[in-house]
Structure 1
Amino acid sequence: MAEEHKHGSMNTEVHEKTFEGFVTFTKWTVVAIIAVLVFLAIFAR
């Protein structure tokens, strides 16, 4: 049978790195979208 789960014993290093990458990707995507919107507001008339 499966081993008993012990609360707090899971290695979360990979999860934390994945989440950090997701946050970084999201941040730069938002910056890029804002830059495109500003560009369009200035030059697309």
Structure 2
Amino acid sequence: MAEYKHGEMDTSVQEKTFAGFIKWSTWVAGAAIFALIFMAVFNS
């Protein structure tokens, strides 16, 4: 087993995945808010 050294792991893939998750979550939250506003305005 290799000796662990703090800060040497390449985390670029994890950072890209997290950024994509945050971007996707923002879009989903925005779409949900838009849908709620749309239903509130056009509810008869």
Ranges of 4+ aligned residues in structure 1 off by more than 4 Å: none
Output one character per residue of 1:1-45: Cα deviation in whole Å (capped at 9) or x when no partner: x10110000000000000000000010001000010011001122
CA RMSD of aligned residues (A): 0.6
TM-score normalised over the length of structure 2: 0.94
Gaps of 5+ in 2: none
Aligned residues: 44
Identical-pair percentage: 45
Q: Can you give the 5+ residue segments of structure 1 that lack an aligned partner in the other structure? A: none
